[in-house]
Amino acid sequence: MHQIKYFLAVTRTLNFTRAADQCNVTQPSLTRAIQKLEDEFGGILFNRERALTHLTELGRMVLPHLEQTYEAAEAATLLANSIGKAEVTPLVIGVADGLHLPVMDDILANLATTLPALTLDVRGGTSAQVLDAALKGGIDLVIIAMPEQAPDRLETWPLFQQRYAVAVAAHHRGGNGQPIAMAEVAAEPWIDCGDAGTAIWRNAACAMGSTPTFRHKVESRSQALRLAALGLGHVIVPAGLAAPGLRVVSLSDCELYQKVVLGAVAGRRRGYAAEAFLRAARARDWQPVGTDPAGQVGLIKLESAQSTAAGSAL
């Protein structure tokens, strides 16, 4: 594992001497470790050109895999060392409303198993509210939509792109699961959840010349889904969400999404549980299966409209 550690240090510094200093080893030792790694992969990982050291094509290809492997190993080591600790292990995490986070649920379940003294405090709100609370102190980590202009104090790690779709009553004509055109449903009743997904939909529809009619307003997604199942209106939800009495269908003429990140205040000391969550989160693949992370699906690309909507939601 130390070979991967040295490789990642060189990719950050692009300098073998500085990388050796960061890893507290001699430069020849680091070089030998990199050479052993190259022997295992059967190719050169770095083009060594004095001050112009840079990754080869092979190096660029293996980089994301080695990063994930190293983070996973670090997370496993951290969690293993925590077993049997009797101290209270608090974790305060802020999560923006409206996100669908099965991976977070899995990580928290594992933490609860490996950290018997774990105490969780999960706080919600809009991305802007959660971020503001974190900057003021009291929140260890946040999972939010990426701000258009992130504060200098915010350190972020990309997680995935949250896709949004339309939840309609099962008896609606869209209940067959086929994609629906925006013009078909924009004028029908809608339910405002007050979250980022609703804001993105409103801005995207307006950009295409439609004005959604938000007849109902609720404070939580569960309330919105209940009304939608009764046929009182449609609601924008994370793609892939399932709920009784509803069908979640995509829009055929646009793609609604926002970039979701894990964030922490730079320089602020993190507790044991927060560090364990961070390492586990960075080692996992958060992108839902069957979605296009590049965000290029759809007959009409509304990236500018979505960006504006995300900004207004923040």
- Answer for the pair 150, 127: CB distance below 8 angstroms, yes or no: no
pLDDT tens for each residue of 36-84: 998 888 889 988 876 678 888 888 888 888 888 888 777 766 656 654 4
Q: Which residues contact 224 (CB under 8 A, 6 or more apart)?
A: 167, 191, 193, 218, 235, 237
Residues facing residue 143 across a β-bridge: 95, 262
Give the percent of the chain with pLDDT over 90.
29
Residues of the chain with CATH 3.40.190.10: 89-160+259-300, 162-256
Q: What is the pLDDT of residues 289-312, one digit of tens each?
A: 544 443 333 333 333 333 333 333
Class of domain 2-82: mainly alpha
Q: Is 128 exposed, middle or buried (0-12, 13-18, 19+ CB in 10 A)?
A: middle
**Gyration radius from the chain CA atoms:** 23
Query: Is domain 162-256 given the CATH code 3.40.190.10 in the classification?
Result: yes
Its pTM stands at 0.61
On whether the CB atoms of residues 10 and 19 are closer than 8 A, the answer is yes
Considering the segment(s) 89-160+259-300 as one domain, its CATH architecture is: 3-Layer(aba) Sandwich (3.40)
Is the pLDDT assigned to residue 86 strictly greater than 60? Answer: no
